[in-house]
Amino acid sequence: MGDGWVWYGLGIMLFFYGGPQRYSAVCAAGTAAVVGIFVFKALKRLSHRLRPCQVEPHCWSKILPPDQFSFPSGHTMTAFSIALVVSYFYPSLEGMLFFLALSIAVSRIVLGMHFLSDVLAGMVLGVVLGCASISIFASFGLA
C-alpha cells in the first residue's frame, strides 16, 4: 500500500468529495509529497547506506527494493507527510491515516527494505514536511 496508489486514490476522493477545503488539502499534501521525493532521493545519494536485504538475504521476502539505498525511508516519509496534512484538513480521518502511515512504516522493516533508523528518520522528516506544507499554505490563507 505504500507505493502511492492509496495516496492517489485518497487525493481523487478528496478532490471530488472533500468539500470546500479540498483544493487546499490536496495541494498541500501533494506539495509535501513532491518535496519529500527530492529530499529522500538527495539523502539516499549522500548516505549510500545499504539495505538490510543487501546485507543479509531476507528469510522470506522476495520483493525487490525500489531503489539502491536505504536511508531514509521514502515510503514512510511520504506516508507521514500526507497523513499529517490530510489530518489537518479532515480531523475525523486522523486515526485511520496515522494507522495507515504506521503500517506502511512497519512493513518497510518487515519486508527487509529498511532498518528501524531509516523508518524513524522517515517519520520525523515526513512530519517536518507536513508541518512546513501546512504552514506555507496557512501563510497564504489557504489552510
Select which of 44, 49, 108, 114 is catalytic: 114
pLDDT of residue 92 exceeding 60, the answer is yes
List the catalytic residue out of 49, 51, 75, 108: 75
Closest CA to 125 of 90, 66, 79, 93: 79
What is the tens place of the pLDDT at every residue in 45-88? 999 888 887 777 666 666 666 777 889 999 999 999 999 999 99
Through-space distance between the first and last CA atoms of the chain, rounded to whole angstroms = 27
Look-up of cell digits 506544507: 133
75 belongs to the catalytic site: yes
| Lowest mean pLDDT across 2-16, 80-94, 118-132 | 2-16
**Considering the entire predicted model, what is its pTM?**
0.89
- Residue 33: what pLDDT? 93
Q: How far apart are CA 23 and CA 21, in angstroms?
A: 6
> Which has more confidence, 140 or 15?
15
Closest among 18, 3, 1 to 85, alpha carbons compared: 18
Annotation says 114 is catalytic: yes
